[in-house]
Chains A and B, each alone.
Chain A
Amino acid sequence: MPSSRFPIPQGTLDMLILQILSLEPAHGYGIAQRLEQISKSVVQVNQGSLYPALHRLEQRGLLKADWKESETGREAKFYSLTRSGQKQLRSEKESWVRLAGAVQLIFDEGAAQ
C-alpha cells in the first residue's frame, strides 16, 4: 500500500515538524495527523520516529512544550516554536530553496544540451 510514496529524506522530518508548528502550537497526535495528511499525498512518515524527533528538537531548544487542555478536554503536551526554532526553520527553508534551485539548474542544463 505505501509503495507509491517517497520514503522521507533524512532530516526532513525535523523541518516538517517545525513547519507544522510554525502555523500553530500542536500536540503530538495533532502533528501526527497533519503528517498523515501530507503522507497520504506525497511522503511516507514513520509515526514511531515522531516522538524521538519532538524530544530531540525540544532538547536542542528549538521547541518548547506546555501541558494544556486539548480539544477533547484532556490535558495534552502542546509543542510550539521557540525563537531559535523560528530562526532554524527560516534558515532550513532558505537552504532548501537554494538546494532545490541548484538541483533544478543542473537538470535544466542537462535538458538544454
Chain B
Amino acid sequence: MKRILNWFRLRRLESDLDRELQYHIDRRVTDLIHSGLPEPEARRRAALELGGTTKVREEVRDIWLTRWLRDFVHDLRFSARSILRSPSFSATAVLSLALGIGATTALYSLIDQIVLRALPVEHPERLVLIDWIGFQNAETFGTHNLMSYPICLDLQQQKQFFDGVFCRAATTINFSTGGEPRLTAAELVSGTYFSVLGVSPALGRLLTIDDDQVPGSSPVVVLSYDFWKNQFGGTQDIVGRKVLVNQHPMTIVGVAAPAFHGIDVGETPSVWIPAVMSAQSIPGFKTMLDRRTRWMQILGRLKQNVSLERAKTGLQPWFKSMLDEDTRRTNISRASPEQRRRFLASTLALTPAPQGHSVLRHDFSQPLWVLFVATAVLLALACLNVAGLFLARGSARHREISTRLALGASRGRIGRQLLTDSLLLAITGGLLGVAIAPIAVRALIAFLPHNTAATDLQANIDMRLLLFAFLVSLLTGFLAGGAPALQAGRKSLDSALRERGGTPSGGLALRRAIVTAQIAFTLILVIAAGLFVRTLSGLLLKGPGFDTSSLISFGIKPDLNGYSGAEESRLIRRITEGLRDSSNIQASSIALVQLLLGGAWSNSLTIQAQERYVTDREIEINAVTPGFFATLGARIVAGRDFNEHDALNVEAPHQSLPVSESGQRAVIVNEAFVKRYFGGRNPLGARVAMGASPGAKPDSEIVGVVENISYTNVREQSEQAYFPIGTELSGSNFYLRFRGTPESAFRSIRAILRNADPTLPISYFRTLDEQIDRSLNTERMLAALSSSFGTLALLLSLVGLYGVMSFVVTQRTREIGIRLALGATRVSTIWLVLRDALTMIAAGTAIALPCVWALGRLVQSQLYNVKPTDPITILAATLVLCSTALGAALIPARRAAAVSPTDALRFE
C-alpha cells in the first residue's frame, strides 16, 4: 500500500534522496580534505566508497516501488505514447471495447438491480419465500406465490424453524392529505413485517404486531422515506398527521429507513398499511380471514441454525394436517373428488429470498440473462477483434520487437509491454463504456413494462458497477493482449532478424483462429436475432384478434373515492351517456378486467350439456357490457351478444354471478372454449356454473360464441368465458372506438369525466395500439437488442476477416506474382484467396451450429411459433453471414488478382 502511495510522490522522494546523498558526499569530501587528501582525489574516494550514486539511487528506488511496479509505470508511459502515435488503430480498439463493456455493464446493472441485489435489511440471506405448490382451491387476487392471511398466522407459530414470518400484498390506494386524492402504491403487511425484516424507522415508529390484531381496528400508516421527502417535504412533524386512505381517516405513525424500498423491485410502495385494514384499503374486499382467498406472499426468516431443507421437511407434517383440516372445513368439502385429490397432493416449498419477491424479476430475469449472454458474446467478439488488431500491429512492430530482444530485453518483459498496451486500451474502453452505460440502462428500462419500473430502477453508476466494469475491462485487456503477448515471446530471434522487412508471418495461424471464432460468435448472434425478430413479427401479425386502430381504453376507480355501489353505477351511467352523446366517440363499452395486461380473472367452470363435467383448466373470465365485442370489432360467430336484460344484477361479480330479471343468467364463450369442451359441436343452450364444486348450479346459458381474442397477452390463446357485467362495479375499464385523433378523443373523455365528478382521477389512459406495444415489451426488447447485437457482431467480424485476408494477400503478393507469371488466371487467383476465407467461414459455422442447438433451451420459452433450431432462420442467418463475409474477403481477393507479376517480383 505504502508503495503505491510512493508512486504518487515519486518526484519528492527523488529530490530528497539526492539531497541526502549530496550531504553525505560533501561531508565525506570535507573530512577527507581535512585528513590531507587533495580535493579531486577526495571526491573520487567519496564516490567510490559509496559504490556510485547512480547504483545507490537505483537500489533505493526499487525499495520504494518494487521493481515490477516501476517497470509497469514505464510500460504505461510507453504504451500511452504508442497508442497516441496510432490514433486510428487505438480509436477502433477503444470504441469496440467501449461498446462491449458499456453494453455488458448496462445489462449487469439491470440484472443486479432486478435479480441479484439483496434487500437492505438485516441478514437477508436467511429470508425465504414460502409457497404453496399445487392446487389451493382458492379465489385469487394478484399473481405469483399467493397464499391466504390465516396461513401466515399459522406459520408464525412455527417458532422452531422461523425467527419470524410475515405476509404482504401490493395494492393501489387513493391517498389524500386533505387535498385532491392521488393513486398511490401501498403495501398491506402483517404486523411482523418490519420486525422480521429488521428495518428501523427514520422517524416515529413502524408497524408492530399490535397494529395487526382486529380487522378494521388499526387505522395507522407508515410512509416510505422517499414519499415523505417528496410529498411532505421531509417535514419533522409528520408523525400523528391525519390522512385519508380511500376516504377512510388514518394516522401516520412513522417513516421507514431511507434505504428500505419494500421487498418488491418494480413495485415500490409509498405507504405501508396493516393487513387488518385490508377492507378499507381494497374496497369490496372482505375475505381477509378466509382460508380460501389467496392474495398475499408469505416470507419468513429462518432461525440461525436451521437449514432450508430442515425447515422444509420439518414443516410438512404441519402442512399435511392443515390440508386435512381444510378438507373438513365446509367451504372445501364440496369440491370434486379430483380437486380434493389435487388439493391433498399439495406441498409446501421454501425458496431462498434474500432479494425479496418481485413480479418484475419473475417475468424478466430470463430475458435479461439471455441478453446478458448475448452482450458477453459481443464483448468476446470485440476482444477478439482487438486481439486481431494487436497481432496485425505486432507484425508491423516486428522489427522493433526483434531489435529489443536482440538488445537483451527478456521475452517476458516484451510480452508484459504488449499486455500493458492492451490493458491500457481496455481500461480506456472501460471508462468510455461506463460513460455510455447509463444511457444504455435508460434505454433498457424503457423496454420494461411496469410503469413503476421507470421510477424504481436507477441508471446511476455505483461502486458495484464500477468494480464490475473495471474487472470486465481487466479481463478484456488480458484476453485481447494475452495471445499477442504470448506470440511475441515465441519466435526465434535470429530468424526474425534475418527476415526481410515487410514480410513477417507472425501470428497468422492465430489470427485465422480468431476470425473463425468471431464468425462462430457472430452466427450465433445473428441466428438469435433472426429468432427474436420472427417471434415479434409473428406476434404482431397475429395481433389480439381485433382491430386496435382507433381503440382507446381508460380506467376509473370510483370505489377508491368512497363511492357506494349504487352511487358508482349512477356515475357510470352518467359517463356512459356522456360518451354516447360525444361526436368523437363511435362506440363504448366496459370490461371488469383490463385486457392485455398479463393477468386475468380465472376459475374453473362446471358445464352442463348432455352430461355434467368440469373444465380441466382454469377458464379466463371477464365481465362486459352489451356491445363490448362490437366495440372491439370481434365477431359473434354464433348466437347473440348480451342485451340490456342480461345485465341487470346487483352484487359484485367476483362474489357471485349476475342474474337477469327473469332469473336467467347468460354467458358468452369463445371459439377456443367450444373447441376444447364441445369438440366443435353447437354449445348454444348448454349451461355453465362458476367453480368446480359438486354444489355449483349450472344456471348460466351459453347465448353466444365470440371469435378468439387476446385476453392476458397476445401470445396466449386461452379458453374464455364472458359474463354480463353486474351493475355494481368495482373499478371500470372503458373501451372506446373513436373518430379523429386520440388527443381529441382524450379531451372529450376528460371533459365528460370532469362533468361527472371533477375529483375522480383517471387511473390510466392509452390507445390499444400502445397497450399491445406494452404487452409485447419483452419480445420487442429481445428483437431490438438482438438485432443490434447481431449487426454489430457482423460488422466486427467482417472487419476482422477483411484484415486477415488483406494481410494474407500482402504476404503472398510474391507468390501470387509468380503464379500469375507462370500462367495462372485471374479467376483462379481470386479463388485461391477466397478458398482461404471459405475455410474460416465453414469452420466458424461448424462451431456455431452445435452451440445454437445447445443454447436453444435458454431462449425456447421466449419464442413464439418458432423453434430455436428453426431451419429457415438458421439457413437465412448462415446465408447472410456467408455472403457478407465472402463480400469482405472479395475485396482483398480482387486486389490479389490485380497484382502485376513484374511488380510483384520486384516487390521486396
Contact = CB atoms under 8 A, between A and B. Distances in A.
A55 B27 contact: no
A37 interface: no
B55 interface: yes
Nearest to B25: A29
A25 to B, nearest CB: 14
Interface stretch (A44-52, A80-88, A99-107): A44-52
Contacts of B50: 47-48, 51
Contacts of B17: 51, 55
Contact of B23 (A47, A49, A56, A77): A77
Contacts of B60: 51-52, 55
Contacts, number: 55
By CB atoms of chain B within 10 A, which of A32, A47, A56, A74 has the most?
A47
B64 A47 contact: no
Nearest to B58: A52
Interface residues of A, number: 19
Contact of B63 (A47, A59, A70, A74): A59
A52 B59 contact: yes
B56 A29 contact: no
A55 B64 contact: yes
Contacts of A32: 24, 28
Interface of A: 27-29, 32, 46-49, 51-52, 55-56, 59, 70, 72, 74-77
B49 interface: yes
Given A29-B23, A51-B20, A72-B27, A59 B2 contact: yes
Contacts of A28: 20, 23-24
B56 A48 contact: yes
Interface in B40-57: 49-52, 55-56
A51 B56 contact: yes
B138 to A, nearest CB: 69
B593 interface: no
A69 B887 CA distance: 78
Contact of A48 (B2, B51, B63): B51
A32 B23 CA distance: 12
A47 B25 CA distance: 11
B562 to A, nearest CB: 73
A88 B499 CA distance: 59
B324 to A, nearest CB: 72
Contacts of A46: 51
Contacts of A77: 16, 19-20, 23
A31 B26 CA distance: 15
Contacts of B51: 46-49
A75 B23 CA distance: 8
Interface residues of B, number: 22
B64 A29 contact: no
Interface string B48-81: 0111100110011001100000000000000000
A29 B27 contact: yes
B842 interface: no
A48 B2 CA distance: 24
B21 interface: yes
How would you classify the secondary structure of chain A's contact residues: helix, strand, loop or mixed? helix
By CB atoms of chain B within 10 A, which of A29, A32, A70, A72 has the most?
A29
A37 to B, nearest CB: 13
A51 B21 contact: yes
B26 to A, nearest CB: 8
How would you classify the secondary structure of chain B's contact residues: helix, strand, loop or mixed? helix
Interface string B267-303: 0000000000000000000000000000000000000
Contacts of A56: 63
A52 B55 CA distance: 10
A55 B61 CA distance: 9
Given A46-B51, A75-B23, 20 more contacts: A27-B20, A27-B23, A29-B23, A29-B27, A32-B28, A48-B52, A48-B55, A48-B56, A51-B59, A52-B56, A52-B60, A52-B63, A55-B17, A55-B60, A55-B64, A56-B63, A74-B23, A75-B19, A77-B16, A77-B23
Interface string B132-147: 0000000000000000
A5 B628 CA distance: 112
Contacts of B20: 27-28, 51, 76-77
Nearest to B59: A52
A25 B543 CA distance: 89
Interface in B222-254: none
Contacts of A52: 56, 59-60, 63
Contacts of A29: 23-24, 27-28
A72 to B, nearest CB: 7
B398 to A, nearest CB: 39
24 contacts: A27-B23, A28-B20, A28-B23, A32-B28, A47-B49, A47-B50, A48-B51, A48-B55, A48-B56, A49-B51, A51-B21, A51-B24, A51-B56, A51-B60, A52-B56, A52-B59, A52-B63, A55-B17, A56-B63, A59-B3, A59-B63, A70-B23, A74-B23, A76-B20
Contacts of B55: 48
Nearest to B23: A76
Contacts of A55: 17, 60, 63-64
Given A48-B52, A51-B56, A52-B56, A59 B23 contact: no
A56 B62 CA distance: 10
A75 B56 CA distance: 21
Contacts of A49: 51
Interface in B95-150: none
A70 B26 CA distance: 13
Nearest to B30: A72
By CB atoms of chain A within 10 A, which of B27, B50, B52 has the most?
B27
By CB atoms of chain B within 10 A, which of A55, A75, A76 has the most?
A55
Contacts of A59: 2-3, 63-64
Contacts of A74: 23, 26
Contacts of B28: 29, 32
B297 to A, nearest CB: 56
Nearest to B13: A55
Nearest to A36: B49
Contacts of A72: 27
A28 B60 CA distance: 14
A27 B49 CA distance: 17
